[in-house]
Amino acid sequence: MCSWSRVNNLSDSSAQQILDLSAQLSARQTVVLYGFGQMKAIDSLARAGCLLHREPLNDAALANIVRSTRPALTDASWGLPHLNDPVPPRQFSDAVLQRGANIPSQVLCECPRHVAELIGQLGRFEDYSLDCLQQSPKTASCTCSSTRWQAQPAPCLKRPCRWWPTTKASPCRTRPEQHARLNCT
């Protein structure tokens, strides 16, 4: 964790408070942004390993400071799927989503239509992501996990309402008069 402090006037007492807070948080790095400061306080923080930057800072300088304090990503154990795994097919076509969104129901809100729109947008984003992957391997680290969103939607999106079409593996719970329109038998 990186500790950030911003003070207008950097004095011995504020420097000590910053060091105490950094120790309390077990911060791996401490960044101090200050407007004006006493040399003794600046020197004590620098000796303690703090990164000191006098304000005002422009956006580019601040962005560089943020980048320099982030830990390096050394391993992809945080969830990148294997890039060689095939992307599973979509579960719902745009036509099925549209039919599901247009089914009259007892639901008085617009939730069924909104859910269909969300899943459709995810599908279109997946198509876009696959195109990006084919154009440049450098985008793989950013895009590869998104290509699996539509094929494995969150449980709350997978079956949000009783009318939602199902796969053959799970029983259909739509009303009988809707079976023909959804082709979900």
Q: Is it the case that residue 27 has pLDDT exceeding 80?
A: yes
pLDDT tens readout for residues 153-175: 444 444 444 444 444 443 444 44
**What is the per-residue pLDDT for 80?**
52
More confident residue, 170 or 56: 56
What gap in Å lies between CA 144 and CA 136, rounded to an integer? Answer: 12
What gap in Å lies between CA 81 and CA 32, rounded to an integer? Answer: 38
Average pLDDT taken over every residue of the chain? 70
Q: Which long-range contacts (CB under 8 A, 24 or more apart) does 105-110 make?
A: 105/161, 105/163, 107/161, 107/163
pLDDT tens readout for residues 68-127: 887 665 555 555 555 556 666 667 777 777 777 777 666 566 677 777 777 777 777 777
Q: 8: helix, coil or strand?
A: strand
- The dihedral through the CA atoms of 39, 61, 14, 21 has a sign that is negative
**What is the per-residue pLDDT for 185?**
36
Query: Where exactly are the structural domains of the chain?
Result: 2-69, 94-182
Q: How far is CA 1 from CA 23, 63, 103, 167, 175, in A?
A: 11, 17, 50, 45, 53
The model's pTM is 0.40
Q: Closest by alpha carbon to 147, among 75, 81, 78?
A: 81
**What is the per-residue pLDDT for 161?**
47
Percentage of residues in the chain having pLDDT higher than 90: 19
